[in-house]
Structure 1
Amino acid sequence: MNAPTRPHFDGVLFFPVTPFTEAGDVDVDLLARHVSGGVDAGAGGVFIACGTGEFHALELQEFGSIVRTAVEAVASRVPVYAGTGGSVAQAKLFAKAAQDAGADGLLLLPPYLVEVPQAGLVAYTRDVAAATDLPVIVYNRNNARYTEESAVAVSNIPNVVGFKDGTGDLDQVARIVRAVSDADKDFLFFNGMPTAETTQQAYRAIGVPLYSSATFAFAPDLALAFYNALEAGNDALVNALLREFFHPLVRLRDTVPGYAVSLVKAGVALEGIPAGSVRPPLVMPTDDDIAELRRIIAAGRAVLADALTEAV
């Protein structure tokens, strides 16, 4: 297999939700509107049917439809990566479906349930990567935690092009970045923590410039303002957005398991796209929590309004 072209990501990475109808089916029309709107707003890449998109709750046929809808909505404006994972057999099937649907690459989520030895994690990555010729970004989180040695090993797989961290173990990730970079790998590194904006200053310091933004799915103005302020070294705006929006959002997110997904879906609905409920075992936020989410979004936008006034 020839090494694929290294993808280029510029700016905030968009992880769409998967809208469902009242009957529980995928609403492809709303999905197309959601994805297209995100790209119009300035997303630097689309990661479809991943964690925020409830990959864990999708079956193969609807997954293919979701990826195809996203690819058509994006229309080659930015890269489209699709989630895959679970059992090795399932992951290979979803990888092939993503390629058939026109995806530009894959985000490899962890296998389910089992504890994973390092040799097995490398073998899992190698087997799934070999199912297609798409570039693959591996996701370091939960039970799929790479060491320096295994990270270097998977970076040697021809179509593995990136490493995304969801552990928050900055010491370990810094050592992985150094080990892979010392091996002369032209590799991409991503911060994949929930609400990644709250940790991105620290990740940038260890050589991880890219990050996923769940916030972009429902408040692209806030996500882009934070990104631009970070890039420009506008510490005052970065700190104000963290204080008034991102940190309160994290505190609310952490009150209920699964809110990292369902709060985003509720936020998408607040912004005018009725994306429906999450699928079990996740639960939607309570009315009180949705009201708090609305307040937090308003507080974030008040920060932007104040910054604009000061700039005039």
Structure 2
Amino acid sequence: MNFSGSICALATPFGVDDALDLDAFARLIEHQIRGGTQALVVAGSTGEAHALAADEFDRLLAFAIERVAGRVPVLAGTGTANTHKTIAATRRARALGADAALVVTPYYVRPTQEGLRRHYLEVAEHGDLPIVLYNVPGRTGCDMLPATVAALAPHPRIVGIKEAVGDVDRVKALLALARDDFSVISGDDPTALRSLALGAAGVISVANNVVPALFRRLCDAARAGRADEAADLDRRLQPLFDALGVESNPIPVKFGLSAIGIGTPRLRLPLSELSQPHRGRLRELVLNLQDAAVA
């Protein structure tokens, strides 16, 4: 299984009663499909996986799989801070029909590189799904180094890595490991074009939630070697990337989605809604880019 191109890390809409808003989630999925998104991640960090009860994870993933109906692959965010819990969540995702699992490095517990290697091998052996490694040290408190990825990449169920460290040397080191059955995918919107230009297979994006068509165009242009077109699209999107980073993800992107009529800005505590001073600028950016996508 190979993942490439424009991939969206879906937000999880909540209603005013704090319950899952599956009607809004359906609209978000269709917004992505119409925009050309090539795979979807459900219940990742952008999807507030930490805030979902086990039964909500099941409902959300099952709903997405039914709604997508095979049009694009669906990856489930199954990573936890514990190996046995991660295996159980990955098996559950398999039972619900997910195509693969996106497995973040164990957060808070700060494993060694040997612990990371053994963790992922256990999940690959016993989780019953292809897995995409996910390294995001700014959130987890641990950084999976390229040497550890190199030790894991040959496993037949480990099919790629989402790397959120946008450093050029890091990306180059990982791209040396890329094969037809192991993809290197950017997990950092602001540096995504640079990673794509170096040879990354695609991007798992937050901004894609609100501008799927433009993000697909960026990925297509970059991967086809249309450097001027890709650079122009990247310049147009950089202000949005900046605005989506003013507070912790997914606070800004949920406000951005509400600005285009998809769900509310509501999050679950301890996350709170986007601060008032940032709202006008983000709303303006999102609405202007919707017009640009149609033009």
Deviations 1:250-293 (A, max 9, x none): 3333333x1x3111111111111224511122222123322111
Structure with higher RCO (Cα < 8 A, 6+ apart)? 2
| Matched position secondary structure for 2:270 | coil
Which residue among 16, 40, 61 is the counterpart of 1:46?
40
Gaps of 5+ in 2: none
1:209 aligns with 2:207: no
CA contact (8 A) 2:257 2:264 kept: yes
* Structure 2 partner of 1:155: 153
Q: RMSD between aligned alpha carbons?
A: 2.3
Question: Structure 1: how far apart are the matches of 2:261 and 2:290?
Answer: 17
* Structure 1 partner of 2:15: 21
Distance 1:212 1:297, change over 3 A: same
1:116 aligns with 2:111: yes
Distance 1:144 1:156, change over 3 A: farther
Residue 73 (structure 1) shift? 0.6
Distance 1:123 1:44, change over 3 A: same
Question: Structure 1: how far apart are the matches of 2:221 and 2:271?
Answer: 33
Question: Structure 2: how far apart are the matches of 1:304 and 1:233?
Answer: 21
Question: Structure 2: how far apart are the matches of 1:104 and 1:275?
Answer: 28
1:227 aligns with 2:219: yes
Gaps of 5+ in 1: 1-5
TM-score normalised by the chain length of structure 1: 0.84
* Structure 1 partner of 2:186: 191
CA contact (8 A) 1:147 1:176 kept: no
Question: Structure 2: how far apart are the matches of 1:156 and 1:174?
Answer: 18
Which residue among 66, 70, 76 is the counterpart of 1:76?
70
CA contact (8 A) 1:60 1:97 kept: no
Distance 1:232 1:151, change over 3 A: closer
Question: Structure 1: how far apart are the matches of 2:293 and 2:37?
Answer: 19
TM-score normalised by the chain length of structure 2: 0.89
| Matched position secondary structure for 2:162 | strand
Question: Structure 2: how far apart are the matches of 1:30 and 1:254?
Answer: 23
Amino acid at match of 1:290: R
| Matched position secondary structure for 1:70 | helix
Question: Structure 1: how far apart are the matches of 2:86 and 2:115?
Answer: 15
Trace 1:135-284 onto structure 2 (pairs within 5 A): 135-142=130-137, 143-178=141-176, 180-181=177-178, 186-193=181-188, 196=189, 198-231=190-223, 233-244=225-236, 246-256=237-247, 258=248, 260-284=249-273
1:94 aligns with 2:86: no
* Structure 2 partner of 1:3: none
Trace 1:5-20 onto structure 2 (pairs within 5 A): 6-7=1-2, 9=3, 11-20=5-14
Deviations 1:40-76 (A, max 9, x none): 3311011111121111221211101111001001001
Deviations 1:288-309 (A, max 9, x none): 322111222244356567xx5x
Amino acid at match of 2:143: R
CA contact (8 A) 1:84 1:95 kept: yes
Distance 1:73 1:185, change over 3 A: closer
CA contact (8 A) 1:92 1:128 kept: yes
CA contact (8 A) 1:22 1:276 kept: no
CA contact (8 A) 1:241 1:300 kept: no
Determine which structure has more spread, i.e. the larger CA radius of gyration.
Answer: 1
Amino acid at match of 1:192: G
Question: Structure 1: how far apart are the matches of 2:276 and 2:204?
Answer: 27
Deviations 1:214-254 (A, max 9, x none): 2221222332333344345555554444334x222233333
Distance 1:204 1:38, change over 3 A: closer
| Matched position secondary structure for 1:130 | helix
In percent, how many aligned pairs have the same letter?
29
Question: Structure 2: how far apart are the matches of 1:28 and 1:303?
Answer: 28
Question: Structure 2: how far apart are the matches of 1:186 and 1:224?
Answer: 22
